[in-house]
Protein backbone atom coordinates (compact mmCIF):
# COMPACT_ATOMS: atom_id res chain seq x y z
CA UNK A 1 0.00 0.00 0.00
CA UNK A 2 1.56 3.29 -1.10
CA UNK A 3 0.83 6.06 1.39
CA UNK A 4 3.57 8.45 0.35
CA UNK A 5 1.06 11.04 -0.79
CA UNK A 6 -0.34 11.42 2.69
CA UNK A 7 0.69 14.13 5.12
CA UNK A 8 3.94 13.25 6.93
CA UNK A 9 3.99 12.08 10.51
CA UNK A 10 2.34 14.63 12.76
CA UNK A 11 0.31 15.23 15.86
CA UNK A 12 -2.47 12.76 15.12
CA UNK A 13 -0.36 10.22 13.30
CA UNK A 14 -3.34 8.34 11.85
CA UNK A 15 -6.39 9.21 9.79
CA UNK A 16 -9.81 7.66 10.17
CA UNK A 17 -11.32 6.43 6.94
CA UNK A 18 -15.04 6.65 6.44
CA UNK A 19 -16.24 3.49 4.76
CA UNK A 20 -18.86 3.96 2.09
CA UNK A 21 -20.29 0.61 3.08
CA UNK A 22 -21.08 1.98 6.53
CA UNK A 23 -22.69 5.21 5.33
CA UNK A 24 -26.17 5.43 6.78
CA UNK A 25 -25.80 2.02 8.40
CA UNK A 26 -24.88 0.85 11.86
CA UNK A 27 -21.17 0.08 12.20
CA UNK A 28 -20.34 -3.58 12.86
CA UNK A 29 -19.38 -4.59 16.38
CA UNK A 30 -15.68 -4.06 16.94
CA UNK A 31 -13.76 -7.02 18.33
CA UNK A 32 -11.91 -6.55 21.59
CA UNK A 33 -8.18 -7.24 21.37
CA UNK A 34 -5.99 -8.79 24.09
CA UNK A 35 -2.29 -9.36 23.48
CA UNK A 36 -0.73 -11.63 26.11
CA UNK A 37 2.99 -11.01 25.81
CA UNK A 38 5.11 -13.57 27.63
CA UNK A 39 8.68 -12.85 28.68
CA UNK A 40 11.45 -15.26 27.59
CA UNK A 41 9.00 -18.04 26.72
CA UNK A 42 10.71 -20.52 24.42
CA UNK A 43 9.22 -22.08 21.30
CA UNK A 44 9.40 -25.47 23.01
CA UNK A 45 8.26 -24.35 26.47
CA UNK A 46 4.56 -25.14 26.01
CA UNK A 47 2.93 -28.46 25.30
CA UNK A 48 1.00 -27.37 22.18
CA UNK A 49 4.41 -26.67 20.61
CA UNK A 50 5.80 -30.07 21.52
CA UNK A 51 6.85 -29.89 25.17
CA UNK A 52 6.41 -33.25 26.88
CA UNK A 53 8.03 -32.64 30.26
CA UNK A 54 5.59 -29.89 31.21
CA UNK A 55 1.88 -29.38 30.59
CA UNK A 56 0.28 -26.03 29.75
CA UNK A 57 -3.46 -26.82 29.49
CA UNK A 58 -4.73 -23.25 29.27
CA UNK A 59 -2.36 -22.30 26.46
CA UNK A 60 -3.22 -25.60 24.77
CA UNK A 61 -6.93 -24.77 24.98
CA UNK A 62 -6.27 -21.37 23.44
CA UNK A 63 -4.40 -23.08 20.60
CA UNK A 64 -7.14 -25.67 20.11
CA UNK A 65 -9.73 -22.92 19.82
CA UNK A 66 -7.59 -20.67 17.64
CA UNK A 67 -4.85 -20.57 15.05
CA UNK A 68 -1.38 -21.80 16.08
CA UNK A 69 1.44 -20.35 13.99
CA UNK A 70 4.67 -22.29 13.43
CA UNK A 71 6.60 -19.60 11.55
CA UNK A 72 5.95 -16.51 13.67
CA UNK A 73 8.61 -14.08 14.81
CA UNK A 74 9.35 -11.28 17.20
CA UNK A 75 11.79 -8.75 15.75
CA UNK A 76 14.64 -9.11 18.22
CA UNK A 77 16.17 -11.71 20.49
CA UNK A 78 15.86 -9.39 23.50
CA UNK A 79 13.11 -7.55 25.32
CA UNK A 80 13.28 -3.79 24.77
CA UNK A 81 13.76 -3.82 20.97
CA UNK A 82 10.98 -6.37 20.45
CA UNK A 83 8.57 -4.27 22.50
CA UNK A 84 9.62 -1.13 20.66
CA UNK A 85 8.93 -2.75 17.30
CA UNK A 86 5.60 -4.21 18.38
CA UNK A 87 4.30 -0.82 19.51
CA UNK A 88 5.82 1.43 16.80
CA UNK A 89 5.95 -0.77 13.70
CA UNK A 90 9.63 0.12 13.23
CA UNK A 91 12.62 -2.20 13.44
CA UNK A 92 14.42 -1.20 16.63
CA UNK A 93 17.84 -1.64 15.05
CA UNK A 94 17.08 1.44 12.94
CA UNK A 95 16.99 3.64 16.04
CA UNK A 96 19.84 4.21 18.48
CA UNK A 97 19.02 3.77 22.14
CA UNK A 98 16.69 0.81 21.73
CA UNK A 99 18.96 -1.78 23.33
CA UNK A 100 18.04 -3.46 26.60
CA UNK A 101 16.97 -0.51 28.75
CA UNK A 102 18.20 0.23 32.25
CA UNK A 103 15.65 0.77 34.99
CA UNK A 104 16.18 4.52 34.91
CA UNK A 105 16.14 4.91 31.09
CA UNK A 106 14.18 7.85 29.73
CA UNK A 107 11.27 7.21 27.37
CA UNK A 108 12.48 5.50 24.20
CA UNK A 109 9.21 6.15 22.36
CA UNK A 110 8.58 9.88 22.44
CA UNK A 111 5.15 11.32 23.28
CA UNK A 112 2.99 12.00 20.25
CA UNK A 113 4.34 9.20 18.14
CA UNK A 114 1.84 6.89 16.50
CA UNK A 115 1.75 3.55 18.29
CA UNK A 116 -0.39 0.45 18.26
CA UNK A 117 -2.18 1.90 21.29
CA UNK A 118 -2.86 5.27 19.68
CA UNK A 119 -4.23 3.52 16.59
CA UNK A 120 -6.68 1.60 18.78
CA UNK A 121 -7.51 4.67 20.84
CA UNK A 122 -8.25 6.62 17.68
CA UNK A 123 -10.59 3.83 16.62
CA UNK A 124 -12.67 4.31 19.77
CA UNK A 125 -11.12 1.59 21.93
CA UNK A 126 -10.34 1.89 25.63
CA UNK A 127 -6.66 1.00 25.86
CA UNK A 128 -4.40 -0.33 28.61
CA UNK A 129 -0.98 -1.78 29.23
CA UNK A 130 -0.57 -4.01 32.26
CA UNK A 131 2.70 -5.66 33.30
CA UNK A 132 6.24 -5.22 32.07
CA UNK A 133 7.03 -1.98 30.21
CA UNK A 134 10.84 -1.80 29.73
CA UNK A 135 10.72 1.11 27.29
CA UNK A 136 11.85 3.89 29.59
CA UNK A 137 9.91 6.57 31.46
CA UNK A 138 10.30 10.32 31.80
CA UNK A 139 12.12 12.84 29.67
CA UNK A 140 15.55 14.42 30.06
CA UNK A 141 16.64 14.01 33.67
CA UNK A 142 14.72 10.76 34.05
CA UNK A 143 11.45 9.78 35.70
CA UNK A 144 10.33 11.49 38.88
CA UNK A 145 9.73 8.39 40.97
CA UNK A 146 8.44 10.52 43.85
CA UNK A 147 6.01 12.64 41.85
CA UNK A 148 4.24 12.64 38.51
CA UNK A 149 5.88 10.42 35.92
CA UNK A 150 5.66 11.90 32.44
CA UNK A 151 6.58 10.53 29.02
CA UNK A 152 5.08 7.13 29.65
CA UNK A 153 2.32 4.89 28.32
CA UNK A 154 -0.40 7.50 28.81
CA UNK A 155 1.47 9.75 26.36
CA UNK A 156 1.48 7.01 23.74
CA UNK A 157 -2.19 6.14 23.43
CA UNK A 158 -2.85 4.13 26.58
CA UNK A 159 -5.80 5.26 28.69
CA UNK A 160 -4.61 3.20 31.65
CA UNK A 161 -1.39 1.57 32.75
CA UNK A 162 -0.25 -0.58 35.65
CA UNK A 163 3.35 -1.44 34.91
CA UNK A 164 6.65 -2.85 36.04
CA UNK A 165 8.90 0.03 34.90
CA UNK A 166 11.70 -2.14 33.52
CA UNK A 167 12.25 -5.79 34.46
CA UNK A 168 11.95 -7.92 37.55
CA UNK A 169 15.71 -8.10 37.92
CA UNK A 170 16.23 -4.32 37.67
CA UNK A 171 15.41 -1.57 40.13
CA UNK A 172 13.17 0.24 40.85
CA UNK A 173 11.17 -2.72 42.17
CA UNK A 174 7.84 -0.90 42.30
CA UNK A 175 4.63 -0.74 40.29
CA UNK A 176 3.58 2.41 38.47
CA UNK A 177 -0.13 3.05 38.00
CA UNK A 178 -0.85 5.71 35.41
CA UNK A 179 1.66 8.41 36.42
CA UNK A 180 2.64 7.53 39.99
CA UNK A 181 4.42 4.84 41.98
CA UNK A 182 1.87 2.68 43.78
CA UNK A 183 1.87 2.83 47.57
CA UNK A 184 4.75 5.28 47.95
CA UNK A 185 5.25 6.99 51.29
CA UNK A 186 6.34 10.59 50.54
CA UNK A 187 8.45 10.52 53.69
CA UNK A 188 10.52 7.67 52.23
CA UNK A 189 11.50 8.91 48.75
CA UNK A 190 12.93 6.63 46.11
CA UNK A 191 16.45 7.07 44.75
CA UNK A 192 17.67 5.07 41.76
CA UNK A 193 21.11 4.85 40.18
CA UNK A 194 22.72 2.64 37.56
CA UNK A 195 26.06 4.44 37.72
CA UNK A 196 27.17 4.47 41.33
CA UNK A 197 26.13 2.74 44.55
CA UNK A 198 23.54 4.25 46.84
CA UNK A 199 25.12 3.38 50.14
CA UNK A 200 21.91 3.23 52.16
CA UNK A 201 21.00 -0.33 51.15
CA UNK A 202 23.07 -3.56 51.28
CA UNK A 203 24.07 -5.25 48.04
CA UNK A 204 24.17 -8.90 47.09
CA UNK A 205 27.86 -8.58 46.36
CA UNK A 206 28.72 -7.42 49.86
CA UNK A 207 26.05 -9.31 51.83
CA UNK A 208 25.32 -12.68 50.20
CA UNK A 209 24.11 -13.96 53.58
CA UNK A 210 20.97 -11.83 53.13
CA UNK A 211 19.95 -13.54 49.89
CA UNK A 212 17.29 -16.21 49.38
CA UNK A 213 18.30 -16.47 45.71
CA UNK A 214 21.92 -15.99 44.68
CA UNK A 215 23.17 -14.59 41.36
CA UNK A 216 25.10 -16.76 38.91
CA UNK A 217 26.45 -13.74 37.04
CA UNK A 218 25.80 -10.05 37.56
CA UNK A 219 22.63 -9.24 39.51
CA UNK A 220 24.59 -8.47 42.69
CA UNK A 221 23.51 -4.94 43.51
CA UNK A 222 20.65 -3.70 45.72
CA UNK A 223 18.75 -6.41 47.58
CA UNK A 224 14.94 -6.35 47.43
CA UNK A 225 12.86 -9.17 48.90
CA UNK A 226 15.99 -11.26 49.49
CA UNK A 227 17.05 -11.02 45.84
CA UNK A 228 19.86 -8.82 44.54
CA UNK A 229 19.13 -6.89 41.36
CA UNK A 230 20.77 -4.89 38.59
CA UNK A 231 21.11 -1.29 39.71
CA UNK A 232 21.01 0.59 42.99
CA UNK A 233 17.92 1.75 44.85
CA UNK A 234 17.03 3.18 48.23
CA UNK A 235 13.76 4.25 49.83
CA UNK A 236 10.23 3.41 48.76
CA UNK A 237 9.91 0.58 51.28
CA UNK A 238 6.10 0.67 51.34
CA UNK A 239 5.99 0.51 47.52
CA UNK A 240 8.29 -2.45 46.94
CA UNK A 241 6.73 -5.41 45.22
CA UNK A 242 6.81 -8.98 46.53
CA UNK A 243 8.08 -11.17 43.70
CA UNK A 244 5.89 -14.11 44.68
CA UNK A 245 2.78 -11.95 44.20
CA UNK A 246 3.63 -10.22 40.90
CA UNK A 247 1.62 -12.59 38.69
CA UNK A 248 -1.42 -12.36 40.96
CA UNK A 249 -1.26 -8.56 41.09
CA UNK A 250 -0.88 -7.87 37.39
CA UNK A 251 -3.32 -10.60 36.34
CA UNK A 252 -5.87 -9.08 38.70
CA UNK A 253 -5.32 -5.63 37.19
CA UNK A 254 -5.68 -7.00 33.65
CA UNK A 255 -8.90 -8.81 34.54
CA UNK A 256 -10.27 -5.70 36.25
CA UNK A 257 -9.60 -3.59 33.14
CA UNK A 258 -11.57 -6.10 31.07
CA UNK A 259 -14.45 -6.07 33.57
CA UNK A 260 -14.52 -2.27 33.72
CA UNK A 261 -14.72 -2.02 29.93
CA UNK A 262 -16.93 -4.97 29.08
CA UNK A 263 -19.56 -2.76 27.47
CA UNK A 264 -17.20 -1.00 25.05
CA UNK A 265 -14.42 -2.15 22.72
CA UNK A 266 -11.09 -2.47 24.50
CA UNK A 267 -7.46 -3.12 23.67
CA UNK A 268 -5.29 -4.71 26.36
CA UNK A 269 -1.55 -5.18 26.02
CA UNK A 270 -0.91 -7.59 28.90
CA UNK A 271 2.82 -8.05 29.27
CA UNK A 272 3.60 -10.69 31.88
CA UNK A 273 6.71 -10.99 34.03
CA UNK A 274 6.87 -14.77 33.72
CA UNK A 275 9.10 -16.49 32.83
CA UNK A 276 11.83 -13.84 33.16
CA UNK A 277 14.32 -13.91 36.03
CA UNK A 278 14.20 -13.77 38.96
CA UNK A 279 11.84 -16.71 38.80
CA UNK A 280 10.00 -16.59 42.10
CA UNK A 281 6.52 -17.98 41.44
CA UNK A 282 3.71 -17.94 43.95
CA UNK A 283 3.69 -20.74 46.53
CA UNK A 284 0.76 -22.34 44.67
CA UNK A 285 3.14 -23.31 41.87
CA UNK A 286 6.35 -24.02 43.77
CA UNK A 287 7.52 -27.57 43.17
CA UNK A 288 4.63 -28.42 40.87
CA UNK A 289 6.58 -28.72 37.61
CA UNK A 290 9.44 -30.88 38.84
CA UNK A 291 11.74 -28.54 36.91
CA UNK A 292 12.47 -25.96 39.59
CA UNK A 293 11.52 -22.27 39.53
CA UNK A 294 11.72 -21.95 35.74
CA UNK A 295 9.25 -24.76 35.17
CA UNK A 296 7.05 -23.51 38.00
CA UNK A 297 7.03 -20.05 36.39
CA UNK A 298 5.82 -21.62 33.12
CA UNK A 299 2.92 -23.15 35.07
CA UNK A 300 2.22 -19.76 36.62
CA UNK A 301 2.19 -18.16 33.18
CA UNK A 302 -0.23 -20.82 31.97
CA UNK A 303 -2.47 -20.03 34.96
CA UNK A 304 -2.33 -16.35 34.01
CA UNK A 305 -3.54 -17.19 30.51
CA UNK A 306 -6.34 -19.26 32.02
CA UNK A 307 -7.46 -16.39 34.25
CA UNK A 308 -7.75 -14.02 31.29
CA UNK A 309 -9.70 -16.62 29.33
CA UNK A 310 -11.94 -17.25 32.34
CA UNK A 311 -12.63 -13.53 32.70
CA UNK A 312 -13.63 -13.29 29.04
CA UNK A 313 -15.81 -16.38 29.36
CA UNK A 314 -17.58 -15.15 32.50
CA UNK A 315 -18.35 -11.82 30.87
CA UNK A 316 -19.47 -13.54 27.67
CA UNK A 317 -16.82 -11.67 25.70
CA UNK A 318 -14.82 -14.59 24.32
CA UNK A 319 -16.71 -14.92 21.04
CA UNK A 320 -15.83 -11.43 19.83
CA UNK A 321 -12.42 -10.97 21.45
CA UNK A 322 -9.17 -11.48 19.56
CA UNK A 323 -6.66 -13.04 21.96
CA UNK A 324 -3.06 -13.17 20.79
CA UNK A 325 -0.47 -15.05 22.82
CA UNK A 326 3.20 -14.67 21.94
CA UNK A 327 6.59 -13.84 23.49
CA UNK A 328 9.11 -11.00 23.35
CA UNK A 329 11.96 -13.38 22.48
CA UNK A 330 13.05 -16.97 22.80
CA UNK A 331 14.18 -18.99 25.77
CA UNK A 332 17.09 -18.68 28.14
CA UNK A 333 17.84 -21.06 30.99
CA UNK A 334 20.53 -19.54 33.23
CA UNK A 335 19.98 -15.80 32.89
CA UNK A 336 21.71 -14.59 36.01
CA UNK A 337 20.42 -16.48 39.06
CA UNK A 338 21.20 -19.85 40.63
CA UNK A 339 17.68 -21.27 40.34
CA UNK A 340 18.66 -24.78 39.14
CA UNK A 341 17.04 -24.12 35.77
CA UNK A 342 19.84 -25.99 33.99
CA UNK A 343 20.14 -28.87 36.45
CA UNK A 344 16.40 -29.59 36.52
CA UNK A 345 15.60 -29.46 32.80
CA UNK A 346 15.00 -33.20 32.94
CA UNK A 347 15.15 -33.57 29.16
CA UNK A 348 13.00 -30.50 28.48
CA UNK A 349 14.16 -28.49 25.46
CA UNK A 350 13.04 -24.84 25.88
CA UNK A 351 13.76 -23.94 22.24
CA UNK A 352 12.18 -27.13 20.91
CA UNK A 353 13.73 -28.03 17.54
CA UNK A 354 15.36 -24.62 17.14
CA UNK A 355 19.00 -23.60 17.54
CA UNK A 356 20.09 -20.82 19.90
CA UNK A 357 17.88 -18.84 22.24
CA UNK A 358 17.50 -15.42 23.79
CA UNK A 359 20.27 -13.05 22.56
CA UNK A 360 20.98 -15.27 19.52
CA UNK A 361 20.68 -14.63 15.77
CA UNK A 362 19.55 -18.23 15.34
CA UNK A 363 15.81 -18.85 15.28
CA UNK A 364 15.72 -19.97 18.91
CA UNK A 365 16.00 -16.29 19.73
CA UNK A 366 13.23 -14.92 17.54
CA UNK A 367 10.86 -17.66 16.32
CA UNK A 368 8.22 -17.69 19.04
CA UNK A 369 4.99 -19.29 20.13
CA UNK A 370 2.16 -17.37 18.47
CA UNK A 371 -1.53 -18.16 18.85
CA UNK A 372 -4.49 -16.10 17.62
CA UNK A 373 -8.03 -16.90 18.78
CA UNK A 374 -11.19 -15.12 17.61
CA UNK A 375 -14.03 -17.66 17.78
CA UNK A 376 -16.40 -15.42 15.83
CA UNK A 377 -14.11 -15.32 12.80
CA UNK A 378 -11.02 -17.54 12.92
CA UNK A 379 -11.24 -21.21 12.03
CA UNK A 380 -9.08 -23.25 14.45
CA UNK A 381 -6.01 -24.96 13.08
CA UNK A 382 -2.33 -24.54 12.36
CA UNK A 383 -0.67 -22.04 10.03
CA UNK A 384 2.86 -21.97 8.66
CA UNK A 385 2.40 -18.46 7.24
CA UNK A 386 5.38 -16.18 7.84
CA UNK A 387 4.20 -13.53 10.33
CA UNK A 388 5.84 -10.92 12.55
CA UNK A 389 4.75 -8.94 15.59
CA UNK A 390 5.87 -5.77 13.83
CA UNK A 391 2.76 -6.02 11.64
CA UNK A 392 0.21 -5.67 14.44
CA UNK A 393 0.08 -1.90 13.99
CA UNK A 394 -0.74 -1.83 10.28
CA UNK A 395 -2.97 -4.89 10.51
CA UNK A 396 -5.19 -3.48 13.25
CA UNK A 397 -5.19 -0.05 11.64
CA UNK A 398 -6.65 -1.74 8.57
CA UNK A 399 -9.12 -3.75 10.64
CA UNK A 400 -10.44 -0.59 12.30
CA UNK A 401 -10.69 1.40 9.07
CA UNK A 402 -7.64 3.66 9.43
CA UNK A 403 -4.79 4.62 7.15
CA UNK A 404 -1.35 5.51 8.37
CA UNK A 405 0.59 8.64 7.55
CA UNK A 406 3.63 8.05 5.35
CA UNK A 407 6.13 8.34 8.18
CA UNK A 408 4.27 6.11 10.63
CA UNK A 409 5.09 2.44 11.23
CA UNK A 410 7.85 2.36 8.60
CA UNK A 411 8.28 -1.41 8.71
CA UNK A 412 4.74 -2.58 9.49
CA UNK A 413 2.55 -4.21 6.82
CA UNK A 414 -1.09 -5.18 6.81
CA UNK A 415 -1.04 -8.93 7.42
CA UNK A 416 -4.58 -9.22 8.72
CA UNK A 417 -5.44 -11.97 6.26
CA UNK A 418 -2.59 -14.12 7.56
CA UNK A 419 -3.46 -13.42 11.21
CA UNK A 420 -7.06 -14.44 10.55
CA UNK A 421 -6.02 -17.59 8.70
CA UNK A 422 -7.24 -16.39 5.32
CA UNK A 423 -3.74 -16.26 3.78
CA UNK A 424 -1.43 -19.26 3.93
CA UNK A 425 1.71 -17.33 3.06
CA UNK A 426 1.91 -14.11 5.07
CA UNK A 427 5.00 -11.96 4.62
CA UNK A 428 7.46 -12.30 1.74
CA UNK A 429 10.37 -11.98 4.16
CA UNK A 430 11.15 -11.01 7.74
CA UNK A 431 14.25 -9.52 9.38
CA UNK A 432 15.51 -10.78 12.74
CA UNK A 433 17.89 -9.01 15.12
CA UNK A 434 20.30 -10.41 17.72
CA UNK A 435 21.49 -8.66 20.88
CA UNK A 436 24.93 -8.13 19.34
CA UNK A 437 23.38 -6.19 16.45
CA UNK A 438 23.72 -8.98 13.89
CA UNK A 439 20.83 -9.24 11.42
CA UNK A 440 19.34 -12.14 9.54
CA UNK A 441 16.60 -12.40 6.95
CA UNK A 442 14.14 -15.19 6.18
CA UNK A 443 12.62 -15.42 2.71
CA UNK A 444 10.50 -18.42 1.80
CA UNK A 445 12.53 -21.41 3.06
CA UNK A 446 15.89 -19.65 3.22
CA UNK A 447 17.50 -17.91 6.18
CA UNK A 448 20.59 -15.76 5.63
CA UNK A 449 22.72 -14.50 8.54
CA UNK A 450 25.05 -11.64 7.79
CA UNK A 451 28.73 -12.27 8.63
CA UNK A 452 30.58 -10.44 11.34
CA UNK A 453 33.06 -10.74 14.20
CA UNK A 454 32.36 -11.82 17.74
CA UNK A 455 32.34 -14.83 20.03
CA UNK A 456 30.22 -17.80 19.06
CA UNK A 457 29.06 -18.63 22.59
CA UNK A 458 27.61 -16.42 25.31
CA UNK A 459 29.47 -17.99 28.23
CA UNK A 460 27.10 -16.51 30.83
CA UNK A 461 23.95 -18.05 29.36
CA UNK A 462 25.57 -20.88 27.36
CA UNK A 463 23.69 -19.66 24.27
CA UNK A 464 25.07 -19.81 20.73
CA UNK A 465 25.20 -16.25 19.45
CA UNK A 466 25.28 -17.12 15.77
CA UNK A 467 28.36 -14.96 15.18
CA UNK A 468 30.50 -16.08 12.28
CA UNK A 469 32.97 -14.19 10.06
CA UNK A 470 31.50 -16.02 7.05
CA UNK A 471 27.99 -15.75 5.59
CA UNK A 472 25.51 -18.36 6.81
CA UNK A 473 22.61 -19.77 4.82
CA UNK A 474 20.13 -22.37 6.05
CA UNK A 475 17.27 -24.13 4.32
CA UNK A 476 14.63 -24.01 7.07
CA UNK A 477 12.34 -26.42 5.26
CA UNK A 478 14.86 -29.25 5.55
CA UNK A 479 17.02 -27.88 8.37
CA UNK A 480 14.84 -26.07 10.92
CA UNK A 481 17.58 -26.48 13.52
CA UNK A 482 20.06 -24.50 11.37
CA UNK A 483 22.67 -27.19 11.59
CA UNK A 484 24.06 -27.19 8.04
CA UNK A 485 25.41 -23.95 6.55
CA UNK A 486 24.82 -24.28 2.80
CA UNK A 487 26.07 -20.81 1.82
CA UNK A 488 29.08 -22.16 -0.15
CA UNK A 489 26.76 -24.31 -2.29
CA UNK A 490 24.28 -21.48 -2.99
CA UNK A 491 26.19 -18.31 -3.89
CA UNK A 492 23.27 -16.96 -5.93
CA UNK A 493 20.86 -17.10 -2.99
CA UNK A 494 23.48 -15.59 -0.69
CA UNK A 495 23.95 -12.72 -3.12
CA UNK A 496 20.20 -12.14 -3.47
CA UNK A 497 19.57 -12.08 0.30
CA UNK A 498 22.67 -10.01 1.02
CA UNK A 499 21.46 -7.37 -1.42
CA UNK A 500 17.90 -7.47 -0.09
CA UNK A 501 19.06 -7.05 3.50
CA UNK A 502 21.36 -4.20 2.51
CA UNK A 503 18.52 -2.47 0.67
CA UNK A 504 16.29 -2.78 3.73
CA UNK A 505 19.03 -1.16 5.80
CA UNK A 506 19.75 1.60 3.31
CA UNK A 507 16.14 2.55 2.61
CA UNK A 508 15.44 3.29 6.27
CA UNK A 509 11.97 1.83 5.91
CA UNK A 510 10.18 -1.00 4.13
CA UNK A 511 6.61 0.34 3.94
CA UNK A 512 6.37 2.98 1.21
Closest listed residue to residue 149, CA positions, set 166, 126, 167: 166
pLDDT score, position 199: 78
Distance of CA 481 to CAs 283, 474, 475, 477, 494, Å?
Answer: 36, 9, 10, 10, 19
* Residue spans per domain, the chain: 35-185+240-419, 191-234, 429-507
pTM beyond 0.75, yes or no: yes
Q: What is the rounded radius of gyration, in angstroms, for the C-alpha atoms of the chain?
A: 22
Per the DSSP assignment, residues forming a β-bridge with 192 are: 233
More confident residue, 26 or 500: 500
pLDDT at 266 over 50: yes
How do residues 165-205 score in pLDDT, each as one tens digit? 999 999 999 999 999 999 999 999 999 999 988 878 999 99
pLDDT score, position 14: 52
pLDDT band at 15 (very low <50, low <70, confident <90, very high): low
pLDDT at 26 over 60: no
DSSP assignment of 173-224: -B-EETTEETT--TTS--EEESSS--TTS-BTTT-GGG-SB-BSSS--SBEE
How do residues 394-452 score in pLDDT, each as one tens digit? 999 999 999 999 999 999 999 999 999 999 999 999 999 999 999 999 999 999 999 99
DSSP assignment of 53-87: SS--HHHHHHHHHSEEESSEE-SBSSHHHHHHHHH
pLDDT at 2 over 50: no
How do residues 114-156 score in pLDDT, each as one tens digit? 999 999 999 999 999 999 999 999 999 899 999 999 999 999 9
Is 225 exposed, middle or buried, given 0-12, 13-18 or 19+ CB atoms closer than 10 A?
A: middle
How do residues 239-263 score in pLDDT, each as one tens digit? 999 999 999 999 999 999 999 999 9
Q: DSSP secondary-structure letter at 147?
A: S
Sign of CA dihedral 424, 427, 429, 431: negative
The distance in angstroms from the start CA to the end CA of the chain is 7
What is the CB neighbour count within 10 angstroms for residue 249?
18
Mean pLDDT score, 12-36: 58
| Contact yes or no for 359/80 (Cβ under 8 A) | no
Residue range 429-507, CATH number: 3.30.1120.10
Q: Does this chain's domain 35-185+240-419 share its CATH topology with 429-507? A: no
pLDDT score, position 22: 30
pLDDT score, position 12: 38
The fold for domain 35-185+240-419 equals Alkaline Phosphatase, subunit A (3.40.720)
How many residues belong to the chain?
512
Closest listed residue to residue 120, CA positions, set 37, 270, 14: 14
pLDDT at 18 over 50: no
| Contact yes or no for 43/354 (Cβ under 8 A) | yes
Cα 351 to Cα 42: distance, rounded to the nearest angstrom: 5
Amino acid sequence: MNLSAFVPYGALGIMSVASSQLAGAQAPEKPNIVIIYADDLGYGDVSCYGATKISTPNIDRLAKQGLRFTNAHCTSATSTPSRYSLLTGEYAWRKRGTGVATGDAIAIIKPGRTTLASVMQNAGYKTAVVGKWHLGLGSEGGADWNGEITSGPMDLGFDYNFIIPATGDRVPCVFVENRRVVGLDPNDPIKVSFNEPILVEPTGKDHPELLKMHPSHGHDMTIVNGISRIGYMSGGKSALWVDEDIADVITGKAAKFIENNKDKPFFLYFSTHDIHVPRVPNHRFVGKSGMGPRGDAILEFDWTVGEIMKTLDNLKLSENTIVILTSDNGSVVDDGYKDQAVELLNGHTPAGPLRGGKYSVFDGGTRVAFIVRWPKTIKPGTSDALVSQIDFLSSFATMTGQKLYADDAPDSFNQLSALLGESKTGRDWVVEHASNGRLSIIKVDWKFIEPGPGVKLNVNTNTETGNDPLPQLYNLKTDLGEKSNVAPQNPGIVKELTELLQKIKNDGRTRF
